[in-house]
Structure 1
């Protein structure tokens, strides 16, 4: 057994209320978190941004999300997930109101920092749901919660429509109204976690910092950085990548990007169920290997080959089409979604009583990755001049992640008993 299970004294029927509301909060927050993935394409032309300036705008919510993830994880462990969820929703509302009123590049960067509050909803939601979790179905429940990452697809779909019908400033205000409704429903229909220490231990800052010294925690951070950070970083970059690479309009680029966000919805649930049945580590090892296949295919740039034949030179031109790229992205998204479902089950198996703290550390690592990836993508396009270099970078990242998991699973097959957490 890995750790101790939280007490299941709470009636499991409460899960039918807590899970949908927590999922709705995470879904809308993630949609807010990736607003710049759609709005940024227009802002890039409006402010004549360079590749690096545009990448910084995309990555700003990830930067602030990474900075606050661990502190919010500690706060979640001490004060309860429900309180932190409500605080994050209020911070998001303030950032969205600011976003709808600013008119300068600096103002959008500041608003982007505020959008990073959405990151706190991940660890807070995990910690809140663990109160109601039946251990035998933890993978399924956490996989359903992880579906909230598909909120990015909602922005791809709705923001271009709102912009065409009215103006893009209305989209942040619409999100504010939705967040107000979710916050009110959480206040009215749910209760805070039990204050009994036996059910929700109050973890000091010193104990929380001890997790930084655990190699197992850092391995979880690495896996989450590739699966979640890579998913977010690539999702932020895709609308502009597809629009530029295939001469598409903003709306068409966002619509095709939606196909990258949607497979995660089903895949995370399937991954959670598979982890419940076959084991999280077994499924995760397979999924990381599967991710490398579409990444390798997507990495191949436009190529012209001159093959010297016996009697003549054979010219071969390789030009990946939009359909080819979209199929690869769908396969990649589904594989990463399977991995996320399995990884959340693995987190529950190893740290069932400290999801807030460890989940916060994992999110901080993933946000740092999601912040750096668009910057690195921008630099790769500016310096190398090969658009598919973004997939080459992700392929190397995924390969390193798989090697680490293989090494860890071979050296510690059963993942071992957890040391005391104090």
Structure 2
């Protein structure tokens, strides 16, 4: 594949970053189509709490594990091809979810949700794509802006229940499928790989195994599993939580979940930009401390609407800052030729971090007390454990990994 500099509008880093963020947003919307409607499906199909949780969690699982392969393929084929491929591949699952939900079939909806997870793999494409377009000194900003594509979960939470009310269930999914198709066309016509992109033609399996041997891979995976996992879990399960604890309608619960997601999305580039100016370690520590504190306060079920909103939006801000900080750290420490592979593994860990909490919340829900105290306390414990690990064992500054820019290496050795 040629590395000759592209020309025209597609040669601009800002254009490509903005388009990549848009593609991520639309795929995240598709990935989260089931969550905002989960309580509706539960009522229509008489699902138990565990069955509802499984329905919400299945796309998260597939979208998480699939990032490992997608990250390695991005190293080989580049972000442009992978953005187009994943967006097109997500169209049929989106339509299948709509028809399965309309038919009232739980097995078909679960199966369709499995393939809907394809849309969630998009995140593993954007981080190496953004890294190639920006100098190391601005990669925290770039990955933070791309990570703002998480706003797709907010769009889904806010608009999906409303679209269903306005247009019907099947028509809503058709609309999203059409948007995905138009997005793929936009990528074909405008998006370009950065001139710095060099295809890594090594076989995928050896690249994956090599990335697994790096300490940075597992350290960042652990941290990202907490911050991004917490975001994904709450973005998908919060509609159920709010309807159960506070007895809001599906539309009102979606609106409040959208507020949570938007706060995290705004905070993510802030976390990335802060990590360009101070060591990411301190950004991540602040994130874990704030997450633990707000999750603990949430166990007391603060009253709606003001105090509950303050608690959950503050939690979202800390989680968003943490996601930006962790991936800025990944960009600093990863060998340039392995960013996609490492990103895929770390992103998968983040998704897996979001897979289990909905299951735990459903399994530990106390119908007598109408609360999720056990699940929230487990989040507190996980955040405090990650905080201790980051503060004690991880260095604020260390020698840069092989393949990073020389001026970044000099900076981190000072």
CA deviation map 1:236-267 (0-9, x unaligned): 11111111111211111111112211112221
Aligned match of 1:316: none
Q: Name the SS for the 1:160 alignment partner.
A: helix
More divergent stretch after superposition (40-49 vs 275-284)? 275-284
In structure 2, stretches of 5+ residues that fail to align are 405-414
Aligned match of 2:386: 401
What displacement does 1:24 show? 0.7
Cα contact 2:235–2:260 (8 A) shared by 1: yes
More divergent stretch after superposition (320-329 vs 247-256)? 320-329
Cα contact 1:235–1:261 (8 A) shared by 2: yes
What displacement does 1:70 show? 0.7
Alignment of 1:347-362 (within 5 A): 347-351=330-334, 352-362=336-346
More helix by share: 2
Cα contact 2:158–2:257 (8 A) shared by 1: no
Aligned match of 1:368: 352
Q: Does 1:131 align with 2:132?
A: yes
Cα contact 2:231–2:264 (8 A) shared by 1: no
What displacement does 1:416 show? 3.6
Relative to the length of structure 2, the TM-score reads 0.89
Cα contact 1:139–1:342 (8 A) shared by 2: yes
Aligned match of 2:318: 335
Cα contact 1:156–1:257 (8 A) shared by 2: yes
> 1:148, 1:23 → 2: CA distance?
5
> 1:374, 1:84 → 2: CA distance?
29
Over 3 Å counting, the alpha-carbon distance change for 1:338 and 1:8 in structure 2 is: farther
Cα contact 1:18–1:190 (8 A) shared by 2: yes
Aligned match of 1:150: 151
Over 3 Å counting, the alpha-carbon distance change for 1:8 and 1:397 in structure 2 is: farther
CA deviation map 1:152-198 (0-9, x unaligned): 1101111121122221222211111111111101101123455x8x8
> 1:388, 1:243 → 2: CA distance?
16
CA deviation map 1:36-95 (0-9, x unaligned): 111111100011001110000000101111221111111111121221111111111010
CA deviation map 1:305-357 (0-9, x unaligned): xxxxxxxxxxxxxx644432221000010111111111121111111432211
Aligned match of 2:295: 295
Alignment of 1:99-248 (within 5 A): 99-102=97-100, 103=103, 104-192=105-193, 199-204=198-203, 205-248=205-248
What displacement does 1:9 show? 6.5
Q: Name the SS for the 1:100 alignment partner.
A: helix
CA deviation map 1:70-126 (0-9, x unaligned): 111111111212211111111110101211222211111111111111222111111
> 2:235, 2:49 → 1: CA distance?
17
Q: Name the SS for the 1:16 alignment partner.
A: helix
Cα contact 1:36–1:57 (8 A) shared by 2: yes
> 1:163, 1:345 → 2: CA distance?
38
Over the aligned positions, Cα root-mean-square deviation in angstroms equals 2.3
Higher Cα radius of gyration: 1
Runs of 4+ in 1 over 2 A off after TM superposition: 7-13, 190-194, 198-205, 213-216, 319-323, 352-355, 382-390, 412-421
Over 3 Å counting, the alpha-carbon distance change for 1:258 and 1:388 in structure 2 is: farther
In structure 1, stretches of 5+ residues that fail to align are 1-6, 302-318
More divergent stretch after superposition (9-18 vs 34-43)? 9-18
Cα contact 1:298–1:391 (8 A) shared by 2: yes
> 1:419, 1:189 → 2: CA distance?
32
Aligned match of 2:21: 23
Alignment of 1:297-336 (within 5 A): 297-300=297-300, 320-336=303-319
